[in-house]
Structure 1
């Protein structure tokens, strides 16, 4: 398991798409720029969903791993610069 400093943890184990992404969006929106969220999911579609969401929103997936059917993502909130 990573030793990254984490401001919040979101446990979405047992939830199916689209709930992990919807809950991630809500949680990240409540965080300050630069804070890190640790997201736990069991949805096998999560790696692709999280990557697509991060690319679309400008947030950064610092690291991810899969172990024993649990996907763990460390997501850094990054405000989109230059957007009005």
Structure 2
């Protein structure tokens, strides 16, 4: 099974609340069910990104440490 297409968004170096604000803006233009992978170095992102997903009705598919920060895979809610 081929890997599902995703949009990768590099938000490294940005501090709270910018990663969430930029992720929200980017995902707003995507189709329901689309995948957005974001990378961030903001330590607050481990709290902010899951909260953003719950608030906006998106699914947090994966979260993992990555190069001095974290990587999150978000599926846009419908």
Same fold, judged at TM 0.5 (above): yes
Unaligned runs of 5+ in 2: none
Which of these two proteins has the greater Rg computed from alpha carbons?
A: 1
Name 1:65's counterpart in structure 2.
64
Equivalent-residue separation in structure 1 for 2:5 and 2:25 (angstroms): 17
Shift of the 71–4 alpha-carbon distance from structure 1 to 2, 3 Å rule, reads: farther
Aligned position for 2:26: 27
* Post-superposition CA distance 1:37-56 (Å, at most 9, x none): 01000000001000111111
Name the Cα RMSD after superposition.
1.5
* Rounded Cα–Cα distance in structure 2 between residues aligned with 1:46 and 1:4: 25
Structure 2 equivalent of residue 75 of structure 1: 74
In structure 2, C-alpha distance between the alignment counterparts of 1:64 and 1:40, rounded to whole Å = 10
Question: Following TM superposition, by how much is the alpha carbon of 1:4 offset from its aligned partner in structure 2, in angstroms?
Answer: 5.2
Give 1:54's aligned residue.
53
Secondary structure of the corresponding residue to residue 5 of structure 1? coil
Q: How many positions carry a matched residue from both structures?
A: 77
